[in-house]
Structure 1
Amino acid sequence: MLRVVRLVLAVAITAAAALGVARLTTPADGGITRQLAFLRSELESGAAEDAQQQFPEGYFFLYALYGLTAVDASRLEDARWALTHLESDAGRAPFTGDMPLKYGVFYRGWVNWLRGGIAALSRDPGELRQFEQDSAEIAAAFDASPTPYLTSYPGQAWPVDSTVAMASLRLHDKVLTPKYEETTIVWLANVRAGLDPATQLIPHTVDADTGEPTSGAQGTSQSIINRFLPEIDADFATQQYTRFRTWFLDAPLGLGPAVREYPVGFDGPANVDSGPLVLGISLSATAVTIGAARVHGDASLATSLSQFGEVAGWPLATPWTKRYAFGLAPIGDAFLAWSKSARLWVAAPPAELPSRYISVWWRLPLLTLFLAVGAAPWLLRAAVRRRRAGSSA
């Protein structure tokens, strides 16, 4: 019996190592439909309400990311279902207070981006009219603002939120009659004038009244900013993405490519957005960067991050669903699904730049580890047999 147990354990260890090798070396872009099926089931079971207890925008983000992924997958009714929850009392609940743009730019920007994606798919006159109206209100708020960054909550401004809202105006100009080119030009000029001095990237937070940076660039916001900038201006997006890659891409202990929360050479505390930091790495920023890399034509980085995620995220797949980390944190599944389905809605896909290439050799340390783990039980069994044979002789 003991021999059977040892044999089963050895086979299990080797099979797990072989699975790690497979996940590290095969394409990792599939499974979006199964991820959406898992997320839909979780949302219907109250996952958004649970997430709201953990994150300030947990309810909102779960439905928003589900809806955006549904648009990327051309699942119109799923996207509409998500939008109805965002426009409910529960969806709007965190975004109260006196702000120039009602409900704040975080809420209005993400909702308008989703609404525009739905309208572009459906061409429904009512949905197009609502997209037109909401875009006009957002543009008017930008035109009247002394800074390029509108408030998300009373007295608080995050540039990433205004970036999403500005992208929604660019989507308007693609889907409907163009109106907001001048608003975009002015916004870009003001953004360029107020970059983080240390990295020349868009800052994480700014003073709500002046637009002056109050904290430097951080990975969680940079990954989203760089997901949306190509929709706004290709040249500026390329400049920012190149700097983002330089300052935030890392491989601690030689394992994987991953994304830091703070620039190389800087450290800081973890926060609710970054999640726990392991050797400075933010898992949430790393997941979202998959999408940013995809829309920038950085295929080698997108592939590498996805494959590393298939190993580190411990996905559990069935013929019907797919979830990561055993489905314990659906918000993480939502960000991954949105990132892996990423495509440009406004701009044309950029060409792949050879200078961005990630060498396949990044996999070598992990492959070596998996091969060593997979071989270890059999080497140990062989050593035990040799020792027993020597004792018998």
Structure 2
Amino acid sequence: MSYKVALGFGIVLGVLLVAFSWPVYHYPTRAELHQKAHYLERIVSTPEAETPELLALGNAEWSLFSMSYSAYAFTNMAQLDSSFRPEAAHYTALAIHQMLTGTIVQAFRNHEAAIETDSVTSVLYLGHLNLMLGCHRLLDPASPYIALHDSLSASLHRRLASAPNHCLESYPGGVWVPDNTVALASLQLHSDLTGSTYRTFCRQWVAYARQHLTDPATGLLLSKPATRHQNAEEPRGSHLGWSIFFLHRFAPAFAAEQYRGYQQHFSTNFGVIRLYNERIGSYETSEGDVDSGPLILGYSIPANAFAFGNAVALRDWRNAQRLRRVISFGSREVETPQEIRYSVRFVDLSVSPLAEALLLHAETMTPWHLHPRSN
């Protein structure tokens, strides 16, 4: 009898696992998207000194990402709902203004220089700024930032083409592959908008990366290339997921390859959910570092959040739903008539603008369809 009961229980459990793992991800409704965007609209619309959420970050890099990922999310939303395009253009312009003023640019600019195309050396800053400029040009072909977009694109292309490893520094002596994928996505978007030849360099970069910027054992992108200032660093979940976001914009086939390798080497499929490690074969529980955050049995929050956006971008709807369940387990929605934002489930902690922007970007990943070519 006990054997039959156990067998019956196993069958029921198996059916439930299949049933729960089968549903696929769907974009939030139009109403939900507008509520989710309203919080970020408030953040980018308010002067930095009057925004406690940004001040609480205490980190210019995280403030930068709050602005950039908000702009990318707004651009995604404009693709999913064309009526949102004028608002998306307006709020993206406000985010760009925040990027060009205040503590964000001060953290990355040579203090003695004016804000010119060569006064900032950080590809982290320039790459995101240039992609935001491209987003605004996409949303508004009469963008007042056209001249800056053209000059920054030319500068990035020139410097990337001549740089060792075809990668630029984010900080003095520090080169990260993920930050360079943002700059490359910005060059591709410039080509899409204007017909410039930068897309050719993007293809050349992918060919170079396959040979020189990937781990020989897995074929996955390194987190850092070897330079005279640093050793190469292995592929990491948070860095790889970030890179796939932007590879998808300029090298979709390569992005799909990296995504499949990410699943194969970093993830465990539990049926109902799927979890991604920060490092291959590592199951440590620790505080992690600034990129991974806390590690629980080797799993990191960024690795899973970025994998969710990767799955949405690559239309892997079933895996996207598994990862959405992971996010839903650790967070809860706080809804007002105007806004939907997130808080941490089980404990009374707020979620930062950076996390809100990243998540809205991830859950709205979609192709960027272009207006007729801008002048």
Q: After the TM superposition, which of the residue ranges 75-84 and 287-296 deviates more from structure 2?
A: 287-296
- Runs of 5+ unmatched residues, structure 1: 1-20, 348-393
Q: Does 1:61 align with 2:65?
A: yes
Decide whether the 8 Å contact of 2:24 with 2:318 is kept in 1: no
Cα offset, 1:42, TM superposition:
4.9
Distance in 1 between the 2:141 and 2:25 partners? 38
Q: Match of 1:342?
A: 365
Alpha carbons of structure 1 residues 97 and 123: separation in structure 2 relative to 1, 3 Å: same
Matched, 1:93 2:106: yes
Paired with 2:211 and 2:37, the residues of 1 have a C-alpha distance of 40
Partner of 2:10: none
Task: State whether residues 260 and 280 of structure 1, in contact with CA within 8 Å, keep that contact through their aligned partners in structure 2.
Answer: yes
CA distance in 1, matches of 2:351, 2:156: 32
- The Cα offsets for residues 200-223 of structure 1, whole Å up to 9 and x where unpaired, read as 21111223448x862101111111
Higher mean displacement: 307-316 or 240-249 = 307-316
Aligned pair 1:76/2:76, yes or no? Answer: no
> In structure 2, what is the Cα distance between the partners aligned to 1:183 and 1:267?
39
Change (3 A) 1:29 1:116: same
C-alpha distance in structure 2 between counterparts of 1:26 and 1:160, whole Å: 26
> 1:248 and 1:97 mapped to 2: Cα distance?
39
Map of 2:82 onto structure 1: none
SS of alignment partner, residue 124 of structure 1:
coil
CA–CA distance in structure 1, aligned partners of residues 105 and 207 of structure 2: 31
1:207 aligns with 2:226: yes
Aligned counterpart, 1:332: 355
1:39 alignment partner in structure 2 = 40
The counterpart of 1:132, out of the listed 138, 145, 150, is: 150
Partner residue of 2:209 out of 191, 195, 201: 191
Q: Secondary structure at the match of 2:145?
A: helix
Distance apart, 1:251 and its partner CA = 4.9
Cα displacement (A) at 1:246: 0.8
Q: CA deviation at 1:40?
A: 3.5
Alignment-derived partner of residue 227 in structure 1: 245
Name 1:149's counterpart in structure 2.
Answer: 167
Q: Is the 8 A contact 1:101 1:137 kept in 2?
A: no
Q: Which amino acid aligns with 1:121?
A: L
Q: CA deviation at 1:177?
A: 1.8
In structure 2, how many angstroms separate the alpha carbons of the residues matched to 1:193 and 1:93?
Answer: 36
Shift of 1:116: 0.3
* Aligned-partner Cα distance in 2 for 1:308–1:322: 19
Q: Kindly report the root-mean-square deviation, in angstroms, between the aligned alpha carbons of the 2 structures.
A: 2.8
In the TM superposition, what is the alpha-carbon distance from 1:346 to its structure 2 partner?
A: 7.0
Query: Percent same amino acid at aligned positions?
Result: 22
Q: Does 1:50 align with 2:56?
A: yes
* Residue of structure 1 equivalent to 2:273: 256
TM-score, normalising length: structure 2 = 0.77
Preserved contact between residue 29 and residue 306 of structure 1 (Cα < 8 Å): no
Report the equivalent of 1:360. none
Using a 3 Å threshold, how does the CA distance of structure 1 residues 220 and 100 change in structure 2: closer, same or farther?
A: farther
Note closer, same or farther for the CA distance 1:213–1:298 as it changes in structure 2 (3 Å cut): farther
Partner of residue 28, structure 2: 29
Q: Secondary structure at the match of 1:193?
A: helix
How many residue pairs get matched? 321
The range that moved more, 152-161 or 308-317, is 308-317
Contact 2:127 2:186 (8 Å CA) reproduced: yes
SS of 2:155's equivalent?
helix
The AA in structure 2 aligned to 1:29 is: P
191, 195, 199: which one aligns with 1:173: 191
Q: CA deviation at 1:268?
A: 8.5
Shift of the alpha carbon at 1:33? 1.9
1:131 & 1:39 partners in 2: Cα distance? 24
- Unaligned runs of 5+ residues in structure 2 are 1-19, 79-87, 112-116, 371-375
Secondary structure of 1:311's counterpart equals helix
CA distance in 1, matches of 2:326, 2:305: 10
TM-score (norm 1): 0.74
Structure 1 position 26, deviation (Å):
8.6
SS across alignment from 2:128: helix
Q: Secondary structure of 2:232's partner?
A: strand
State the secondary structure of the residue aligned to 2:209: helix
Structure of greater Rg: 1
**Quick check: 1:258–1:286 contact (8 Å CA) kept in 2?**
yes
Report the Cα distance in structure 2 between the residues aligned to 1:40 and 1:50, rounded to whole angstroms: 18
Matched-pair contact (CA < 8 Å) for 1:149–1:208: no
| Cα distance, 1:129–1:177 mapped onto 2, change above 3 Å | farther
